[in-house]
Chains A and B, each alone.
Chain A
Amino acid sequence: MSGLLLTLLLLPLVGSGLVFAWKDKSSKYLALGIALVQMLITFYIAADFDFNPTVDSVLQHEINYPWSQFIKSSLHFGIDGMSLLLLLLTNILTPIIILSSFNENVSYRNSFYGLILLMQFGLVGVFTSLDGLLFYIFWEVTLIPIWFIAGLWGQENKRLEFTTKFFVYTFVGSLFMLVGLIYVYNHSASFALTDLYNASLNETQQTVVFWFIFFAFAVKLPVFPFHTWQPDTYTYSPTQGSMLLSGIMLKMAVYGVLRYLLPITPIPIAGISGQIVIILAIVGIVHGALIAIIQTDMKRIIAYSSFSHVGLMVAGIFASAVVTLRGSFTIEGAEGALVQTFAHGINVVGLFYCCDILYKRFKSRDIRQMGGLAKVAPKFAVLFLIIVLGSMGVPLTNGFIGEFILLKSVYDFNGLAAVIAGLTVILCAVYLLRFYGKAMFGEGNDAVLSTAKDLSAVEFSVLASIAVFVILLGIFPQPVITMVSSSVKFIYTAMAN
Chain B
Amino acid sequence: MSVLIIVFLTAIVALFSGVFEQGKFARYIGIFGLIIALYVSFMPELAFFEKYRHMYDYTANTALFTKISIVTTLLLFFLGGFAFSNHRSHQSELYALMLFALCGGITLFGFQNLVTLFLGVEILSIPLYVMAGANKTDLRSNEASIKYFLMGAFATGFLLFGIAFIYGSTGTFDLYKIHDFGTQNPKNVMFILGVLLMLCAMAFKVALAPFHMWSPDVYSGSPSLITAFMASVVKISGFYALFRLMTIGFAGVTHDWINVFGVFLIITLFLANAMGLAQTNAKRMLAYSSVSHAGYIGLVFFGMTSLSTYNLAFYLFAYSLSTVGVFMCLIWVEKLKRETSFGAFKGLAKSEPLLATVAAISLLSMAGVPLTAGFMGKFALFSQAMNGAAFLVLVAVLGSAISIAFYLRLIVAMFFFKETTFKTSEKVTLTYNIVAVFIIASIIMLGVFPDLFAKQFGL
Which A positions have Cβ atoms within 8 angstroms of B?
67-71, 107, 133, 136-138, 140-141, 143-144, 148, 151-152, 159-160, 163-164, 167-168, 171-172, 175-176, 178-179, 182-183, 185-186
A167 touches B408 (CB 8 A): yes
**Structural contact, A171 and B393, CB atoms closer than 8 A:** no
Q: With a CB–CB cut-off of 8 A, which chain A residues contact B418?
A: 107
10 contacts between A and B (CB under 8 A): A71-B379, A137-B375, A151-B412, A163-B412, A164-B405, A168-B401, A171-B404, A175-B401, A179-B386, A183-B386
Question: Is the Cβ of B401 less than 8 Å from the Cβ of A70?
Answer: no
Contacts of A178 in B (CB 8 A): 379, 382, 397
Across the A-B interface, give the 4 residue pairs with the lowest CB-CB distance, nearest first.
A137-B370, A172-B401, A140-B370, A182-B383
Q: Per a CB cutoff under 8 Å, which of A69, A141, A171, A179 touches B451?
A: A69
How many of chain B's residues touch chain A, expressed as a range? 20 to 34
Q: Please give the distance in Å from B313's CB to the nearest CB on chain A.
A: 12
Task: Looking at the assembled complex, report how far the CB atom of A111 sits from the nearest CB atom of chain B, in whole angstroms.
Answer: 10
CA separation between A68 and B307, bound complex, in Å?
A: 13
Q: For A107, what are the chain B residues with a Cβ–Cβ distance below 8 Å?
A: 418
Q: Cβ of A151 and Cβ of B415 under 8 Å apart?
A: yes
* Inter-subunit contact B387/A186 (CB<8 Å): yes
Chain B residues with CB under 8 A of A164: 405, 408-409, 412
Q: Given A70-B310, A171-B401, A175-B400, check contact A144 B369 (CB 8 Å).
A: yes
Q: What CA separation (Å) do A136 and B382 show in the bound complex?
A: 14
Q: How far is the CA of A160 from the CA of B408 in the complex (A)?
A: 10
The proximity string for B residues 256-270 relative to A, scoring 1 for CB distances below 8 Å and 0 otherwise, is 000000000000000
The dominant DSSP class at the B interface is helix
- Given contacts A68-B451, A71-B450, A186-B387, whether A140 and B405 have CB atoms under 8 Å apart is no
Q: Which chain A residue shows the least CB distance to B311?
A: A70
> For residue A143, which residues in chain B have a CB less than 8 angstroms away from its CB?
369
- With contacts A163-B412, A164-B405, A175-B397 known, is A70 near B450, CB below 8 A? yes
Shortest Cβ gap from B404 to chain A (Å): 5
Residue of A nearest to B383 (CB): A182
Rounded to whole angstroms, the CA-CA distance of A133 and B380 in the bound complex is 12
What's the nearest-Cβ distance from chain A to residue B26, in Å? 39
Q: Which of A107, A159, A163, A175 has the most CB of B within 10 A?
A: A175
Interface residues of B (CB under 8 A from A): 307, 310, 364, 367, 369-371, 375, 379-380, 382-383, 386-387, 390, 393-394, 397, 400-401, 404-405, 408-409, 412, 415-416, 418, 449-451, 454
Cβ–Cβ < 8 Å partners of A133 in chain B:
379
Query: In the assembly, what is the distance between CA of A167 and CA of B400, in Å?
Result: 13
| Contact call A183/B401, Cβ cutoff below 8 A | no
The answer to whether A137 and B409 touch across the interface, beta carbons within 8 angstroms, is no
A contact residues around B394 at 8 Å (CB): 179
Beta-carbon contact of B382 and A141 below 8 Å: no
Residues in A neighbouring B370, C-beta threshold 8 A: 136-138, 140-141
Given contacts A68-B451, A144-B369, A171-B367, 18 further A-B contacts (CB under 8 A): A67-B449, A68-B450, A70-B310, A71-B380, A107-B418, A140-B371, A141-B370, A148-B415, A151-B415, A160-B416, A163-B412, A164-B409, A168-B405, A171-B369, A172-B404, A179-B397, A182-B383, A186-B383
> What B residues does A183 contact at CB under 8 A?
386, 390
- Chain A residues lying within 8 Å of B379, measured Cβ to Cβ, are 71, 133, 178, 182
Which of B382, B387, B405, B454 is close to A179, meaning CB atoms less than 8 Å apart?
A: B382
Distance of A67 Cα from B379 Cα, bound (Å) = 15
**Residues in B whose Cβ lies below 8 Å from that of A68:** 449-451
Which residues of B sit under 8 angstroms from A136, Cβ to Cβ? 370
Give complex CA distance A218, B371 in Å: 24
Are the CB atoms of B412 and A70 closer together than 8 Å? no
Bound complex: CA A132 to CA B354 (Å): 33
CB distance from B453 to the nearest CB of A (A): 10
Residues of B within 8 A of A163 (CB): 412, 416
Q: Once the chains are docked, how many angstroms separate the CA of A182 from the CA of B386?
A: 8
Smallest CB separation, A249 vs chain B (Å) = 16
Residues in B whose Cβ lies below 8 Å from that of A168: 401, 404-405, 408
A341 CB → nearest B CB, Å = 24
How close is B391's CB to chain A, nearest CB, in angstroms?
Answer: 11
- Please name all residues of chain B whose beta carbon is closer than 8 Å to the beta carbon of A186 when the two chains form the complex: 383, 386-387
State A179–B394 Cα separation when bound (angstroms). 8
Residues of A within 8 A of B454 (CB): 69-70
Q: How far is the CA of A136 from the CA of B380 in the complex (A)?
A: 14
